[in-house]
Amino acid sequence: MKDLRLKAIYNQTQVFLDELMVPANDRAYLFGDAVYEVLRVYHTKPFLLAEHMARLARSLDAMEIKGVSDIRADILSSIALNEIEEGMVYVQISRGNAPRNHSFYNQALTPNILISAKPFLTHPTLKEAECGITVITHEDFRWGRCDIKTVNLLANCLAQSKAHSLGADDAIFIRDGHVTEGSSSNVFLVKDGTIKTPPLSRHILPGIRRQFLINAFCAEGNPVIEQPIHEEELFLADEVFITSTIKEAISVTMIDNKPVGSGERTIATLARKLIVDRAQL
């Protein structure tokens, strides 16, 4: 039987993930001072690698984490090392190790770079894609830079756990009466054939799937309108769906225990097809 112990690359050294020890003074551990990326692997290849690397560079820049060289080769190595056909790669880059001080001003720290990969033995979200998911709305109580992909996801964890405690699958954040995004996804809705998603701002992550779908729908002749979405619009929509690298596109069937539209899923199904077709290329 194939050895399923996962191998990771930590600071360019190959390690078994379950044996890896990281320093307790890593600022990721002390302050959540790290950024990350999640990539989907289809047929042994990382999907939309350039887009993920561009977002990672933007996150590093926004966090003023310096001294990170090109990690593409290590991403490809982690896929090969774990013989991944279908799966994902997780990349985390922390500012580095230092005595516990809030300020990092004038400190020449060396980032710690973890790259791990995991195979999907079955499709991770096929059931959700087939059945749809239920969500709650939840106050967006996160910080003011949700556009940076940092590992500071505590509010997201609390919101998703709250959803689970209420018997729902996930949470959609609402800030000042408007939809921002899901606890780990972007949100789209469809009303009278028009597809809408909230515009980019400091309150949402510029999702790689979000942008992929905006481009793909545009090419199909059905442009997505990037416009603020009032909370009420969720309850008047014909369709609501969420997108992420791992979830691809998933239809939302109930919001706060109320059914979405009449159960129509045409656009969510098309969104998923656009992603899967492109991933097959």
Ligand X SMILES: Cc1ncc(COP(=O)(O)O)c(C=O)c1O
- Give the footprint of ligand X on this chain (CB under 6 A): 38, 156, 181, 184-186, 205, 207-210, 243-245
* Annotated catalytic residue 149: yes
Residue (147 or 264) nearer to ligand X, CB? 147
| CA atoms of 55 and 91, how far apart (whole Å) | 12
Do 186 and 209 form a contact (C-beta atoms < 8 A)? yes
Do 242 and 187 form a contact (C-beta atoms < 8 A)? yes
Do 251 and 262 form a contact (C-beta atoms < 8 A)? no
CB of 149 to ligand X, least distance (A): 7
CB of 53 to ligand X, least distance (A): 12
Residue (38 or 81) nearer to ligand X, CB? 38
In the numeric block, the tokens 């390690």 are attached to 15
Residue (98 or 115) nearer to ligand X, CB? 115
CB of 208 to ligand X, least distance (A): 4
| CA atoms of 2 and 11, how far apart (whole Å) | 26
CB of 19 to ligand X, least distance (A): 27
| CA atoms of 251 and 264, how far apart (whole Å) | 9
| CA atoms of 169 and 48, how far apart (whole Å) | 27
Alpha-carbon distance values, 102 to 3, 24, 27, 112, 173 (Å): 42, 15, 9, 18, 29
Residue (113 or 242) nearer to ligand X, CB? 242
Residue (96 or 188) nearer to ligand X, CB? 188
CB of 55 to ligand X, least distance (A): 7
Q: Is 280 helix (H, G, I), strand (E, B) or coil?
A: helix
| CA atoms of 195 and 110, how far apart (whole Å) | 44
Which one of 7, 149, 196, 247 is the catalytic residue? 149
Residues that are catalytic: 149
